Structure 1
Amino acid sequence: MELRCQQADLDQALHLVSRAVARRSTLPILSNVLLDATESALRLTATNLEIALSVSLPAEVRETGQLSVRADVFTDFVGSLPRQDVLLSAPSGTTDLRVTCGTSKARIPGIPAEDFPTIARIGDQPPTALVDTQALRDAVSQVVFAAATDDSRPVLSGVLLEFRGDELTLAAADGFRLSVRTLALQQPAATDLAIIVPAKALAELARVAGESEEALQLLVTPNRSQLLARSGRLEFLSRLIDGTFPEFRQIIPRQWKTRVTVDREAFLAAARRAKIFAQSNNEVVKLQFVPGDSELDPGSMVVSAHAADAGDAEDVLPARVEGPQATIAFNGRYLTDVLSVTKAAEITIEMTSSNAAGVFRPVGDETFLHVVMPMVIGTA
């Protein structure tokens, strides 16, 4: 193998694929990055067996070939080089990678490419769906935080991706809250199906693909065990979680008795202040909805928290309250989580009773909703 490429291109590609390198593994090969020199490009690939990342970069290839080397050493050395041409070569019959840039040289021992895991690629296969990269990135940010962080119920540690016609629905739940977001596909899905992607993997896909301006191609393998994604020179692979996601639409309350509309930023600021005191009382933040007595006084929302050892805090926010006066309590972190990922100027909260789930909806945006189970007010 022998090729020449730009240091900036190589450095950027290495930092991208390094996100998939296994940090702690008993298999040395998973700490490596695979170099695959084809006729006109260099492809770098890394995997931890949960996800895989591949990036192609332009290169002047004099001799094709493959080799894997330690990702950390190779990445750090390339990052230290000046922005000049980098010559990579592996003499025939050896597994050593030679790196030359200006007056700098290095030799990095490698492992034969045959030992590197086989990574599936989209190739010429028609994708299952085509989605705007930035739209998917925004959608993922609004649901992934609601996934469970433990593996006691594996399906809840993932995010449901449901393809139906020209619409993609993402849903995540951890048993205490549910986040649902829909977005339009750029073309109808090849088939209607539902898959569960590990939350961490989906967040990683959104992070790395967000740097591309090209549409994101998504392909579910025929056995529905892997999700492949491609955008420009980047390719991504994730294993899928086997199981059945809960019927989340049945969890969403269909009616409400009290509904309040409030400024989102003011609510977020008040929730953050209340959370300071709620930390000493199981994170309980109480919301009181007080209807107004005229059109000039539509009502208010009181955000409060109390703890015997920390003290108490209270914010009174102007709000439009529909229905009778009501009180409900939520985990303060759950409040700040959902208020942080919505972009609307106002948000509505719908509830039926203090012991039933509350529904959060951004005003003017019907593509997103969030359901939260309440906490026992008696502890507040």
Structure 2
Amino acid sequence: MEFRIDSGVLTEAVAWAARVLPARSPVPVLGGLLLEAADGRLRVSGLDYEASARIEVDADTLLDGRALVLGRRLLDICKVLPHGPVACAIDGARLSVTGGEARFGLSLLPLDDYPAPPALPALRGEVDAAAFAAAVGHVAVAAGRDDALPVLTGIRLALDGTTMTLAATDRYRYAVRTLEWKPEGTPEAGASGTGPGAEAPVEPADVVVPARRLTEIARSLAGAGPVRLALDGGSIGFESAGMRTTTRLLDGRLPKHDKLFTLGEHAVAVTERAPLVEAVKRVAVVAEGDSPVQLAFDGTTVHLQAGYEDDVASQRLPASLTGAESMTVAFNPGYLLDALGSFEAPGLRLRLLGPGQRALITDGETGSHRHLLMSVKPLV
């Protein structure tokens, strides 16, 4: 194998594929990246038992071939290569990497021991990469971190018609985001669509994807334009612009959110998002541990307060309140900031039941993004 490629292109390709490599593995070859050069293309692939990634880029292939090398070591080398062309070739039992006057040699791993990459599941449709990345970011903040409850460390991905629903919860908060997508069979939905006038197949899906993996995938594909989504009973895959990645699904289902988000009679507070975020950050500096930040709405303003006894902080902001003359609620400051920071709209609506009860924060424009929090006991 022998090829030449721009150092920047090689670095980006290696970094993209190396995302899925395990930090530690009892199987040494799973720490490797597979390089395949042929027909003017370089393919870089990585995998572990949970996920896989593959990317193809243009290269000047002088001799077709394959090589398996330690992925993180190759990435470290790529990061320090001089800008400009890079020559890579198998030299005995090593892969030589030469850029400018710098030359590196990497030991080859046994190709025969490397497992075959998983196949891409059945194509289901496509979604805009930027919109999908934003939506995943909106809900990922509510995903659990406790591996003892693995399903709560995931993001629910549900497909129903042309609506995709993403949701996450750690039992203390629940974030839901909806967006449009194009099921396979609708006009312009992937290369294998049946053309204009075709009807979307009625095949709803409801799966749970590891939040960390899905967040990494969404971020890495954010600038890719349309992304094809593939799905079966055990894995989910994404493909776009020479990039392909898969990850296993989590077993189980997240708790239903429909009843939780139905509040009944409630008050509605409306305020600007950015000033509220800054105010919460400001007063929370005196909140020790999980002590709450209190929001007292009086109809025209909201009074934020945190701290006890000598160390206190407060700030007042404009805010409207309907459905009640006044309302005081309090929240864990970390949870509140996570929720507020996940929104992008300039204005927010807070639907409030009262102290110690549910509070639903929604996008002030479309309502496609909803974040449920439990309020706590207000400050005395």
Same fold (TM over 0.5): yes
Report the secondary structure of 2:258's partner residue: helix
Q: 1:228 aligns with which of 232, 237, 244?
A: 237
Match 2:162 to one of 148, 158, 166: 166
- Select which of 97, 100, 123 maps to 1:99: 97
Per the TM alignment, residue 211 of structure 1 is displaced from its structure 2 partner at its CA by 3.3
* One-letter amino acid of the counterpart of residue 69, structure 1: V
Q: Which amino acid aligns with 1:376?
A: K
Residue matched to 1:138: 134
Count of matched residue pairs: 363
Q: Offset of 1:368 from its aligned partner? A: 0.6
Q: Which residue of 1 aligns with 2:286?
A: 277
Paired residues for 1:295-374 under 5 Å: 299-308=300-309, 311-324=311-324, 325-374=326-375
Describe the superposition over 1:286-305 as per-residue Cα deviations: whole angstroms up to 9, x where unpaired: 111212xxxxxxx2211111
Instruction: Tell me the SS of whatever aligns to 1:108.
Output: strand
**Deviations 1:331-380 (Å, cap 9, x if unpaired)?**
11111111112111111111122122000012112211110011123x65
Task: Name the CA distance, whole Å, in 2 between partners of 1:101 and 1:271.
Answer: 50
Per mean C-alpha deviation after superposition, the further-off stretch among 237-246 and 62-71 is 62-71
Which residue of the partner structure matches residue 196 of structure 1? 208
- TM-score (structure 2 length as normaliser): 0.90
Aligned-partner SS, 1:130: strand
CA contact (8 A) 1:344 1:365 kept: no
| Residue identity matched to 2:296 | Q
> Partner of 1:290 in structure 2?
298
Task: Please say which of residues 126-135 and 177-186 is displaced more in the overlay.
Answer: 126-135
Distance change (3 Å), C-alpha of 1:331 and 1:340: same
Query: Over residues 46-66 of structure 1, what are the superposed CA-to-partner deviations in whole Å (9 max), with x where a residue is unaligned?
Result: 224332221111122233222
The Cα shift of 1:104 comes to: 3.5
Write the letter of the residue equivalent to 2:211: A
Distance 2:248 2:372 in 1: 28
TM-superposition CA deviations, 1:173-214 (whole Å, max 9, x none):
0000000000000345652101100010011011111132x3
Q: Does the C-alpha gap of structure 1 residues 352 and 79 become closer, same or farther in structure 2, counting only changes over 3 Å?
A: closer
Q: What is the letter of the counterpart of residue 145 of structure 1?
A: V
Q: Is 2:214 aligned against 1:206?
A: no
Are the counterparts in 1 of residues 291 and 307 from structure 2 also a CA contact under 8 Å?
no
Counterpart among 253, 269, 273 of residue 264 in structure 1: 273
Please state whether the residue corresponding to 2:357 is helix, strand or coil.
coil
With over 3 angstroms needed to count, the CA separation of the structure-2 counterparts of 1:288 and 1:104, relative to structure 1, is closer
| Distance in 1 between residues matched to 2:357 and 2:76, nearest whole Å | 53
Structure 1 residue corresponding to 2:250, chosen from 222, 234, 241: 241
- Report how far residue 161 of structure 1 moved: 0.2
Say yes or no: does 1:157 pair with 2:153: yes
Q: Distance in 2 between matches of 1:228 and 1:179?
A: 23
Measured in 2, the distance between the counterparts of 1:59 and 1:20 equals 23
Partner of 1:85: 85
User: Is 1:274–1:332's contact at 8 Å kept on the other side of the alignment?
Assistant: no
Counterpart CA distance in 2 for 1:178 and 1:197 is: 16
Residue-by-residue CA offset, 1:22-62 (whole Å, 9 max, x unaligned) = 22223222222111223331111122433222111112223
Residues 47 and 307 (structure 1 numbering): CA distance in 2 closer, same or farther, change over 3 Å? farther
Relative to structure 1, the CA distance from residue 105 to residue 269 in structure 2 (aligned partners, 3 Å threshold; closer, same or farther) is closer
| CA distance in 2: counterparts of 1:36 and 1:121, whole angstroms | 17
Compare 78-87 and 61-70 and name the one that shifted more.
78-87
Deviations 1:133-168 (A, max 9, x none): 000011011000100011222111000000001110
The equivalent residue for 2:51 is: 51
Moved more, 139-148 or 110-119: 110-119
CA distance in 2, matches of 1:18, 1:313: 46
Following superposition, the deviation at residue 95 of structure 1 comes to 4.2
Give the secondary structure class of the aligned counterpart of 2:108. strand
Letter in 1 for 2:117: I
CA contact (8 A) 2:276 2:317 kept: yes
3-state SS of the aligned residue for 2:152? helix
TM-score calculated relative to the size of structure 1: 0.90
Which residue of the partner structure matches residue 111 of structure 1?
109
SS in 1 for 2:354: coil
Cα offsets for 1:112-153 (capped at 9, x unmatched): 22322322243xx76212000000011011000100011222
Contact 1:121 1:228 in 2 (8 A): no
Distance 1:256 1:67 in 2: 65
The residue matched to 1:350 in structure 2 has which SS?
strand
Counterpart code for 1:259: V
Paired with 2:114 and 2:314, the residues of 1 have a C-alpha distance of 58
Letter in 2 for 1:8: G
**Could you tell me how far apart the structure 2 residues matched to 1:163 and 1:206 are?**
17
Partner Cα distance (2:367, 2:110) in 1: 52
Is 1:218 aligned to 2:214, yes or no?
no
Report the 3-state secondary structure (helix = DSSP H, G, I; strand = E; otherwise coil) of the residue aligned with 1:267.
helix
State the one-letter code of the partner of 1:105. Answer: R
Matches within 5 A, 1:57-68: 57-68=57-68
Change (3 A) 1:365 1:111: same
Distance in 2 between the 1:117 and 1:253 partners?
48
Gaps of 5+ in 1: 292-298
- Indicate the larger mover: 31-40 or 325-334: 31-40
SS at 2:19 equivalent: helix
